Amino acid sequence: MVEGHNDEDHHHHDRVDSVRTDHGIRGRGNFIIAGLTSGHGVFHWFLQSFIVLLPEIETAFALTKVGVGSISTTREMVSGLVTLPGGILADVFRRHWGLILALCMGGFGVGWFIIGLAPDSFFPLLLVGVAVVAASASMWHLPAMASLSHHYSHRRGTALSFHGIGGNIGDAVSPVITGLLLGYLLWNQILTIYAGIPIFVAFLVYWAFKNIGHDVNQENHDLRGSNRGRLEQTRAILRNPLLWAITLVGGIRGMAFVALITFLPSYLSNDLGLSALARSVHFGLLVAVGIVFTPVMGYLSDKYGRRLILVPGMLFLAGIVLLMSQFGEGVSLIVLIALLGTFFYSDQPILTAAALDVVGEGVATTTLGTLSFARFALSAASPILAGFLYENYSMDYVFYYVTFLMLVGAIILAFLPLRRPESPADHGH
């Protein structure tokens, strides 16, 4: 069955306590979540650095706002195309999750190297690098989050939020460091230097997670663990209307997120005249607040239910973004960015947890791939649309666009029958 929790799920309610120990420290639950969280931080360190560098890239390639949007659109399209088959393949080859994670990390570094080498006169090469980066980053999330979902099956919101924290830490630290480096180096020099780090880290990832999929495979050797069982479950999740509704909300949320995050650096730089360091600090503040609130929101969603946290949170975001159109500068901007950070990064892990609440673990990565594909497919055109609004009208219209999307997402969520996650106590554990 796709929906609900069967007896096997109850038996393995807290897999972090029963992870095999024959791998030494690598088999411990704390090591798994710490390692995956750290790896996630590496990805977001460089992704956020690239966002901070967008005004410099815009100038170097003489791009229009629509041209800037095409960079984000390329990232979204490639991410979507990779995640759908990637989720299915990751379920089939779950014993090789460690190798997949390592290849993703190494490919990530190669992508940044390509971007750093792209001459100002050849924009397509930069897009190729962006595509490699996007494919690697998207594929990483599938086995990483599926593993956390398995080992922390009754604390998904909390576990996935901690994984999100790793990304948030990378997002918070990188803008400041990248802003400082811009005082001494060109944007492409920074990315070329950065490229070497994930290539080195890839070897550490393989050592740390070489056997991470073995335990999952062992505990799912029945019908759910067979290819036939996974195929049946995949068909079931594709027919699940609740899952598709959650996916739709995730897509709408993705449209809002990518539109705002793509053009906020240009707004800070071009419209408000902030220096590279100043706009980096603003981004650092946004993410730093997110670091504090993401695990809190994840815990609250586990305790009180996903909808009770998601609906007010998205309504709150809509209100803050609308206020940014009216008071988006000076001290008021700093306050609004801090308030934006309270939920800006928290909603996606909770939406992911809500989806995993309704599916069997045997197809967790397939589910994640399906969700990601739909989300990226919906959000692919959003940066170009936002770029058109920015270029032909003003950044205020981008704020209005994002506000509208957040409101639509909240309204849909308000009517979804998201059940409260079950806890071990519910089953007498």
| Amino acid letter, 404 | F
Cα–Cα dist 22/423, whole Å: 28
Asked whether the beta carbons of 7 and 13 are under 8 A apart, the reply is no
How many Cα atoms within 13 Å fall on the side-chain side of residue 266?
25
Helix (H, G, I), strand (E, B) or coil at 321: helix
* 257-88-101 Cα angle (round to 5): 70
Q: Write the CA distances from 340 to 124, 269, 293, 319, integer angstroms.
A: 34, 19, 11, 9
Question: 328 Cβ partners below 8 Å, 6+ apart?
Answer: 267, 272, 336, 395, 399
252 alpha carbon, distance to own chain's centre: 14
DSSP 64-118: -HHHHHHHHHHHHHHHHHHHHHHHHHHHHTGGGHHHHHHHHHHHHHHHHHHHHH-
Structure tokens at 363: 């197809």
Phi/psi at 63 (5° precision): -85, 145
C-alpha distance across the termini of the chain, in Å: 23
Please state whether the predicted TM-score (pTM) of the whole model is above 0.95.
no
The dihedral formed by the CA atoms of 169, 40, 153 and 5, expressed in degrees to the nearest 10: 120
Mean pLDDT by 10 residues, the chain (429 residues): 40 43 49 80 86 90 92 88 75 79 92 90 90 90 75 66 75 84 90 91 87 58 51 66 87 92 90 87 84 83 86 94 87 92 84 75 64 79 94 95 96 84 50
DSSP 33-46: HHHHHHHHHHHHHH
| pLDDT recorded at residue 255 | 93
| Amino acid letter, 48 | Q
Domains of the chain: 7-419 (1.20.1250.20)
| pLDDT recorded at residue 233 | 61
Q: How much is the CA Rg of the chain, to the nearest whole Å?
A: 21
Q: Write the CA distances from 30 to 90, 243, 324, integer angstroms.
A: 23, 30, 40
Cα–Cα dist 205/304, whole Å: 35
Asked whether the beta carbons of 51 and 265 are under 8 A apart, the reply is yes
Cα–Cα dist 180/184, whole Å: 8
Question: 127 Cβ partners below 8 Å, 6+ apart?
Answer: 70, 71, 74
| pLDDT recorded at residue 222 | 46
Structure tokens at 327: 């008071």
